[in-house]
Structure 1
Amino acid sequence: MKRLFQKKLFYSFVTAVLVLVSCEKEKGLDTINQSTEKQMIDFCGLKVKLPTGYDEKVLSLNLSDLQGNYYSNKSKFGLKSASSDEMDITLEEMDNLVTSVLIHYPNTDSLTERDIEIIQNDFNGIDEIKIYENIDVIDSFYNALIRYDYVDTLSKHYSLNLKSTNDYLGYDVSKAEFWALVWHPRLVKPTRSATDKAIELTGQYFPGQAAWRTKADAFRHAIWNALIAKYVGDKKNKIDECVDWAKKFTDKHEEGAERPADMTQEDFDFDKAMDYHNNKIGRDYFKSVAWTDKRKWYQPTRVKAPSETTMADAIFEKTKVAKKVSSKSQINSYPSNLVYIKD
């Protein structure tokens, strides 16, 4: 309770500081948001109006620039330094915050009449056919704005989440995971949904069983990767792109893992090798059952896969022939099998 009270007290202080900073920003102290009216620019051959208050520089910010903005804002409140590996935010919180940003932009993955109207207003009256022909350029324009807004929103966030750092995938995301998600803001929600579903399915298929180094653990990692690839399929047009994102994010997860104090480095490396291996088994399975679909000529191609239940059943069958290993070197002997360390 004392910890919660201290956090709430600090949160009140941070809120007050944010109000002051927001006022300063409105006075023109922000170095990027200087425009006071919409500016027509050329973006990859298309005429487009920048939103009011944005400078064209926002469209060319790279990841390093965004990181600089984030830590600069955080330092104003004394909340975070660039040297810290802890981001103090959960995947759930990142999802909630990106949702608050995305509602201000068209959904280029599945265009509605409202989305088309917004795009036409921004892109100088572009007709509907040209929207579909140039959807990648249009998407990159909005993504640049979304990333900038997302970083601004994240930098002002203070978490009151008191979850244990030992909760699997419920703890604060690592720095590596955090920045991977920031650069791909539209993939935050499907990644979170896949994570939640993987945990749910593991509980269903292995009720009451420990999910660390066991067959349940192997199942969880495999279905997690398969579901990430499946869920981002609504935003990708190639199977390999879905697999690449699943690998990228889950690799970042493993890279950000911290070795428990009571575990040797050798044992920790063994544990991670098991996870990397089972992650790949899940991605390989997805790749073997996924397909692409294009319903109408003007609609983008999207990646499809069997239902969650079908995929979970298939991966559960793989646990029945999973191989128990006693060393890291043994894992390479079973390239097509799930592996586990203890019963």
Structure 2
Amino acid sequence: MTAWELIRRFNLNQLVRLAWLMMRHPLYVFPTLKATQETLRICNKRYGDLHHKNGKANAFRHALWNLLLCRYVYQKSKNTEKAEGWAERVTDLHERLAPNEKLDTAMDLHNNKVGRMLFTGHPIQTMTDAIESLQRMTQEAKPVSDAKNITNFEGELVYIAS
């Protein structure tokens, strides 16, 4: 699924909320689109359709999206906190606009945060290094079956145990 296909699914209220956020920060629109497209390209290449399910590939996708959002916004803002804040606002809005089951949402929010933490811990590492670090974290991702258990895995990726 492309970013455009996702946006086309939104209702009018959701489109207005997204447009409002983007209008308030127009310099971040293109970095956001670039991060989204790059995330989907990488995940499609590495995982095919698996990243649309709730396994390790999905954990990788959410963390990568946040990492790339931070990196690309940082290139514009030159401010780590602004980059991290933007990534959090965009991805939290995404979770509110495209709601899932409680466990799915908790997993996504957690993995989003891990991606941002990876950026703030190493804001200038190369993309290759960042993706390799994230790939290692994905291999060690922890299975969860209850949203309450996710908080036990601070700084680690999680996925829904099936």
Q: Distance in 2 between matches of 1:308 and 1:335?
A: 23
Runs of 4+ off more than 3 Å: 169-173
% same residue = 33
Q: Distance in 2 between matches of 1:210 and 1:257?
A: 16
1:331 corresponds to which of 147, 150, 154: 150
1:239 corresponds to which of 76, 80, 84: 80
1:320 corresponds to which of 139, 142, 147: 139
1:307 corresponds to which of 126, 132, 141: 126
Deviation at 1:205, TM superposition (A): 2.5
Q: Distance in 2 between matches of 1:248 and 1:213?
A: 22
2:120 corresponds to which of 280, 287, 310: 287
SS of 1:324's partner is strand
8 Å Cα contact 1:205/1:316 also seen in 2: no
Q: Does 1:199 align with 2:69?
A: no
Task: Tell me which protein shows more helix as a share of its residues.
Answer: 2
Q: Does 1:251 align with 2:92?
A: yes
Mapping 1:1-343, distance limit 5 Å: 92=4, 163=5, 169=6, 171-172=8-9, 174=14, 175-207=16-48, 209-259=50-100, 268-290=101-123, 305-342=124-161
8 Å Cα contact 1:176/1:253 also seen in 2: no
- TM-score in terms of structure 2 length: 0.87
SS of 2:154's partner is coil
Distance 1:321 1:91, change over 3 A: closer
Q: Deviations over 1:158-191 (max 9, x none)?
A: xxxxx4xxxxx45445343221111111111100
Q: Distance in 2 between matches of 1:315 and 1:170?
A: 27
Q: Could you tell me which amino acid in structure 1 is paired with residue 141 of structure 2? A: A
Q: Could you tell me which amino acid in structure 1 is paired with residue 39 of structure 2? A: A
Structure showing greater Rg: 1
Number of residue equivalences: 157
Alignment match, 1:149: none
8 Å Cα contact 2:55/2:161 also seen in 1: yes
SS of 1:332's partner is helix
Greater relative CO (CA pairs within 8 A, separation 6+): 2
Deviation at 1:208, TM superposition (A): 5.0
Deviation at 1:310, TM superposition (A): 2.3
